[in-house]
Structure 1
Amino acid sequence: MLFYATIIASFLCSLYLFHRRRSSKHPLLRDYPILGMLPPVLFNLWRVHDFFTEVVTKHGGTGEFKGPWFADMNYLVTCDSLNVQHMLCKNFDNYVKGHDFRDIFEPFGDGFVTADYETWKYIRTILHSLMKQPRLKAFFDQTVQKKILTSLLPILDHAEQHGRVVDLQDLLLRFTFDNIFLTTVGHDPKCLSIDFPVVAVEKAFRVSEKSIFYRHTVPYTVWKFQKWLQIGQEKKMTEACRTIDKFIYSLIESKREELSKCTEEEMNEAPSDMLTVLMTEHGGSEHDDKFVRDFAFNFLVAGRGSMASTLTWFFWLLIKHPIVEAKILQEIRDNFKKNDDRGHGFDEEQDPSQSVSGEVSGMEEVKKLVYLHAALCESLRLFPPLPIQRKQAVKADTLPSGHIDQELVWERSRLFFK
């Protein structure tokens, strides 16, 4: 009996000593034996961004998070503006996304979301060049205006006439998904319609995003094991990626076939989607289907979620601040009033989002709306669509706050911008 008691006591002492050795100097949360600091995060998973904002702020802007023992989920979390500036500007080359990041964001392939160093610079150069293309800008303008007039406004009118309650976030997700698909690959998935249909490829994107979030909440070995067995969320991820890849690769194939039949003059003059411009510019013929697929996938995901999130929070804030809403409407009236230089405008009682001619204002016209621009920027400051950025230090580094670590996660919370 004494032998077993000695074994148990030795085991408990070993656990205690291990726990003491891994204890943080600047803990964000209570560090439980075996489970680490994960329990309070799981209890607050439904409000995880607000939760981390509150916790990090309480600890002066920076602190350590320790995951379950042997789970390799240990991070330094910060919303300190000086730390963020140090990582993203002053010592940028020392902070990369790293191998673990690319593993978690596997569906993104080698696109700009997961790229580092020269690959990232190369893709960034291509993106900047694409955005300056007049035919791409023209296509963006035409596409967004058409989608607003033929889908968004009719659905809102239908909801008003029938007294129907609409989930604004779902509506805007569908609106931005259709727009980003049209402008990126030239295909309309038609998610935005009165009956709010379930579209397979849109559902697959949602599943993939949910699966990536899931990978952040469990130990690396757990989701890797699930992937190997093809069970749980990882099975859903595999099926979703298969649906997305099949869809994108088929579009690439049809696009290459379509371009092979066009003359150089037709390709260079007509308004074109991003995929067409990419495949006809910047040595497009040298890029294989995998590169084009990764480029398209990254842009689709980045554009869909960020724009829908921004618009959702923007309209929510307008509801909370009617004075701001009134100023935005007044600015629109002042800039697009009747009998202006272009010969069209709107009446005082007409919806300011539309002109008398039934056309939605284009990009160049909207640039006049300075107050609206400021309101959107304020929405982004308060509710950034990409609230967390994960970075890993290549070499040990001391942050301006005095903290030292090898792997960092900075939270771009609303408090960081205050």
Structure 2
Amino acid sequence: MAIFGYPEFFLIIPCIIYLFYFIIRRGKKKSEPTNWPLFGMLPAALLNLHRAHDYATQVLSEVGGTYVFKGPWFCNINMVFTSDPTNIHHIFSKNFSNYPKGPEFRKIFEILGDGIFNADFELWELHRRTTLSLLSHAKFYGSMERTIWRKVETGLLPVLANFYNQGADFDLQDIFQRFTFDTICQIVLDYDPRSLCVDLPYIPCEKAFNEAMGPLLHRHIVPEWIWKLQKKLKIGDEKKLIDAWKAFDEFIYPQVSLKKGEVDDDLTLLTAFRKVFEEKKVTFSGGLRDILRDTSLNLMVAGRDTTSTCLTWLFWLIAVNPIAKIKILEEIEAKLHLKDDKKWRFFNVEECHKLIYLHGALCESLRLFPPVALEHKAPIRPDILPSGHQLRENTKVIVSFYSMGRMEKIWGKDCLEFKPERWISSRGGIIHEPSYKFPAFNVGPRTCIGKEMAFIQMKMVAATIMYHYQIQLVEGHPVSPVDSIILQARYGLRVKLSKRNA
């Protein structure tokens, strides 16, 4: 027993720890997190929080697509991660009614209120039906086309020309975010905030979207009592979320508070929802003003973040894949008859459908960098996934859309390559993959009804920029995805412009 009084005893401790570590790691894959006593797998999650999406992809790839994450025993954050298409088809389509957004989802995304992303059952159906009705209106796409080209003409082209004339580098991601913010505000609120103009004004609401998404991801991983304490103390990530919430409210409430009749555009989403809520006498805990705020914010998130993110990654991908860029340009000139005229012209919605290769390039951007990187689901009744994993009631399921696009068993050995050709059939048409394999626009009944609108806007913007300018990446500027719900470029996309040789 004398050994307890000597330093030799302390040499035994590392050996004991190593032996224990060896035992609990036995049979595990290289990337699998260690399940420590008391702390579970949380240490590995926190250590890899700066690369959360890539780490999840690494683990899921090694274990076959589905993994049970064990949190600390005192935190109740056990969850199942999956990128398995059969599981996703089951959750989002076959057993759709068992996987509503539910109270846990609403708790995490409380900032979105009663908007379509948080809504379930009758409220969700009302949101979807009203939006679909407007998008199906005979005049909607004509109105949208005019809105986009007006912003291209008065905002995008003058801003790009200013950077070109100055010879200055700039953040192309910021330009895309401003463009989509302005256009979605016009479509939803019938209001142009003019964030995209030569002086690039700072508009708190426009920047608040970026600030909110990181904290929302961390709420999935950090124990609830921690982020709730941060919220109460107004510190850390929760302080960012509080500030973003305030910026949203200060921007949106004045617009939704307009008296009936002041907004007379029947093709504006805000007008459509106001009419539906008033005619059906729909009641909400917060009143009409609050539900219009929530509805507007949700639609703005859909229209601003997802489209701008796809465009950002598209331009990075074609910058590092110059052959694809050449093919896109050749298609733009040929299909829009620009080669003979040597003069740019705005093109219509029907002509967008002719840009097949550009469509394939956008799909590749969405596959490799899906704007919404993950989604959170939970069954209201016990369930068994096709992978064999048993789920208790309210078990948190994290579906990694980011990981799905990088799975060899889903997309083949070339899954990490940028290949627009994988989307083009032998007859020259677009190959349509099922949403549970390509979930960039969500899956099943909740598939995004603005998909067509997004592709049209992205084609118009991408074709305009590529026809006028060569995009050169700033050497040495790091480009990687941020760890957030929305998969933006962490440090933006800094570029310089040069005139394209016509």
Give me the TM-score of the superposition, normalised by structure 1.
0.82
Matched, 1:411 2:415: no
The corresponding residue for 1:320 is: 320
Instruction: Classify 1:363/1:54 alpha carbon distance in 2 versus 1 (closer, same or farther; 3 Å).
Output: same
Matched, 1:336 2:330: no
CA offset digits 1:76-115 (Å, max 9, x no partner): 1111111111111111111122211101100111111111
Instruction: Classify 1:24/1:81 alpha carbon distance in 2 versus 1 (closer, same or farther; 3 Å).
Output: farther
Matched, 1:121 2:125: yes
Q: How much does 1:217 deviate?
A: 3.4
Q: How much does 1:258 deviate?
A: 0.5
Q: Secondary structure at the match of 2:67?
A: strand
The corresponding residue for 1:18 is: none
Instruction: Classify 1:377/1:199 alpha carbon distance in 2 versus 1 (closer, same or farther; 3 Å).
Output: same
CA offset digits 1:312-345 (Å, max 9, x no partner): 11111111222222222122222222xxxxxxx5
Alignment coverage as a number of residue pairs: 375
Q: How much does 1:348 deviate?
A: 6.5
Matched, 1:133 2:137: yes
Mapped to 1, the partners of 2:367 and 2:240 lie a distance apart of 34
Mapped to 1, the partners of 2:49 and 2:108 lie a distance apart of 19
Asked if the contact 2:130/2:276 (under 8 Å) is kept, the reply is no
Mapped to 2, the partners of 1:188 and 1:108 lie a distance apart of 22
Which aligned pairs between 1:354-393 and structure 2 lie closer than 5 A? 354-355=344-345, 360-393=346-379
Q: How much does 1:281 deviate?
A: 5.4
Q: How much does 1:378 deviate?
A: 2.2
Instruction: Classify 1:409/1:40 alpha carbon distance in 2 versus 1 (closer, same or farther; 3 Å).
Output: same
Asked if the contact 1:66/1:73 (under 8 Å) is kept, the reply is yes
CA offset digits 1:205-255 (Å, max 9, x no partner): 333323322322321111112223333333342333233223212101225
Asked if the contact 1:151/1:192 (under 8 Å) is kept, the reply is yes
Mapped to 2, the partners of 1:349 and 1:317 lie a distance apart of 27
Mapped to 2, the partners of 1:387 and 1:348 lie a distance apart of 42
The corresponding residue for 2:495 is: none
Asked if the contact 1:26/1:64 (under 8 Å) is kept, the reply is no
Q: How much does 1:26 deviate?
A: 8.5
Mapped to 2, the partners of 1:113 and 1:26 lie a distance apart of 37
Tell me which protein shows more helix as a share of its residues: 1
The corresponding residue for 2:453 is: none
Which consecutive unaligned segments of at least 5 residues does structure 2 have? 1-23, 283-287, 412-502
Higher mean displacement: 98-107 or 326-335: 326-335
Q: How much does 1:142 deviate?
A: 1.1
The corresponding residue for 1:189 is: 193
Instruction: Classify 1:26/1:299 alpha carbon distance in 2 versus 1 (closer, same or farther; 3 Å).
Output: farther
- Calculate percent identity across the aligned residue pairs: 39
Instruction: Classify 1:257/1:41 alpha carbon distance in 2 versus 1 (closer, same or farther; 3 Å).
Output: same
Instruction: Classify 1:384/1:239 alpha carbon distance in 2 versus 1 (closer, same or farther; 3 Å).
Output: closer
Which aligned pairs between 1:218-229 and structure 2 lie closer than 5 A? 218-229=222-233
Equivalent of 1:278 in 254, 273, 279: 273
- Amino acid in structure 2 at the alignment position of 1:277: A
For the aligned residue pairs, the C-alpha RMSD in angstroms reads: 2.6
Mapped to 2, the partners of 1:32 and 1:165 lie a distance apart of 48
CA offset digits 1:153-184 (Å, max 9, x no partner): 22222222222112122221121111111211
Which aligned pairs between 1:5-404 and structure 2 lie closer than 5 A? 28-254=32-258, 256-259=260-263, 272-280=267-275, 286=281, 288-337=288-337, 345=338, 347=340, 350=343, 354-355=344-345, 360-404=346-390
- Amino acid in structure 2 at the alignment position of 1:404: Q
Q: How much does 1:53 deviate?
A: 0.7
Mapped to 2, the partners of 1:35 and 1:223 lie a distance apart of 17
Mapped to 1, the partners of 2:334 and 2:299 lie a distance apart of 35
Higher mean displacement: 309-318 or 376-385: 376-385
Q: Secondary structure at the match of 2:399?
A: strand
Asked if the contact 1:333/1:348 (under 8 Å) is kept, the reply is no
Mapped to 1, the partners of 2:182 and 2:27 lie a distance apart of 48
Q: How much does 1:46 deviate?
A: 2.6
- Amino acid in structure 2 at the alignment position of 1:31: N
Mapped to 1, the partners of 2:133 and 2:320 lie a distance apart of 39
- Amino acid in structure 2 at the alignment position of 1:276: T
